[in-house]
Amino acid sequence: MASHARPRPAGTRVAGIRTPALATAALTSVALLSQTATAAPSTDDKPSLEEVEKKVDDLYRQAESATEKYNSAKEKTAAQRKEVDTLLDDVAQRTQKLNEAREELGSFAAAQYRTGASAPDTATFLLADTPQDYFDQTQLMGRMTDRQKGAVDDYISAQSATMKKRQEATESLETLTGSQADLKTAKATVQRKLSAARELLSQLTAEEKARLAAIEKKKQEEAARKAAELAEQQKAAEQKASPSPSETTQTTDSSYATKADKALAFARAQVGKPYVWGATGPESYDCSGLTQAAWNAAGISLPRTTYDQVNFGTTVSLANAQPGDLVFFYDDVSHVGLYIGNGMMIHAPKPGAYVREESIYYDGESAIHSVVRPA
């Protein structure tokens, strides 16, 4: 890059020493140049196109990681909301039983009042905070009929169960509130990262965008070359394998291949649909939403997030990857694709992109985390 520094003024020198007048002028010039440099930074400070590309890619990765956290929080929130609803319904039913038991005790009190029969002070019992303590008095319990004792037992049991369920509902509501806060935070993080990436891209000139596209094309060509190498390695490994595998292995491979074919057929039908973070279909998907839907079509219920999918099934080496396997990426396991063979996969790449077939080396060999066979 050409230097933007101005040439130094040529002053008159006498025996190698600048004359005082010229020296003063030189100092003034240096001061002005210094002020100009402070007011208007050099264009050399502008990040290179490669740096912009890396920053954008990093932001998209961070957004995808935040998306998986959002998916996890959303799933937990839904489950906890269902649990809260169940507990509240249970509390309502138990409260109804408690009221019925109270009414029955009240009817005993009314009957005893009408007949003048000697009996425990039921009205006092109904107002007591701790009915068990009240009825622990043997002399009072001894004056009750079996039916009255049964009513008291029912009341105490109903009250205890109701209080316990109310406590469970309160704790579950607190947990739900926390999950909702996590959901809100994850959503805000995704939106912030995507906005930052869009802002960086919007600042590029048309020429820079064209150069960026050329850089991306070169990366894709390298990824395709690596995929072809893997395909050759897998083909060579298959040729070296025993020509007569065991019957058990044949049955297992056949069963898996049948399910994998269904998952892959579904995934191929989604090619061209947009990536939308948090989406599970049918019109759009994020990465784990696509793999979940694909294997669901094959009768296998995958978990929702990459964090859980990576632990669902059997981990295999990349050299032994088969069509249908899940390929996970990055140290934080924030991305996943569906392996289709020959070093290629179907995946929902990132915001602004569409479901597509692509080399598993799309972001370099080091990005590959693991391969998992889910069935």
Residues that are catalytic: 287, 335, 347
Euclidean distance between CA atoms 289 and 299, whole angstroms: 15
Euclidean distance between CA atoms 32 and 41, whole angstroms: 14
Quick one: tokens of 21?
A: 């007048």
Q: CB-based burial of residue 299 (10 Å sphere; 0-12 exposed, 13-18 middle, 19+ buried)?
A: exposed
Other beta carbons within 10 angstroms of residue 370's beta carbon come to: 16
Residue pair 263/295 in contact (Cβ under 8 Å)? The answer is: yes
Residue pair 155/101 in contact (Cβ under 8 Å)? The answer is: yes
Euclidean distance between CA atoms 301 and 308, whole angstroms: 12
Residue pair 156/177 in contact (Cβ under 8 Å)? The answer is: no
Using the Cα atoms of residue 38, residue 43, residue 48 and residue 52 in order, give the sign of their dihedral. positive
Residue pair 368/329 in contact (Cβ under 8 Å)? The answer is: yes
Coil, strand or helix at 294: helix
Specify the DSSP element, H or E, that contains 369.
Answer: strand 368-373
Neighbouring-strand partners of residue 275? 285
Nearest alpha-carbon partner for 329 in 361, 286, 304: 361
Specify the DSSP element, H or E, that contains 250.
Answer: helix 247-269
Phi/psi for 357 (5° steps) reads -90, 135
Quick one: tokens of 133?
A: 């303590």
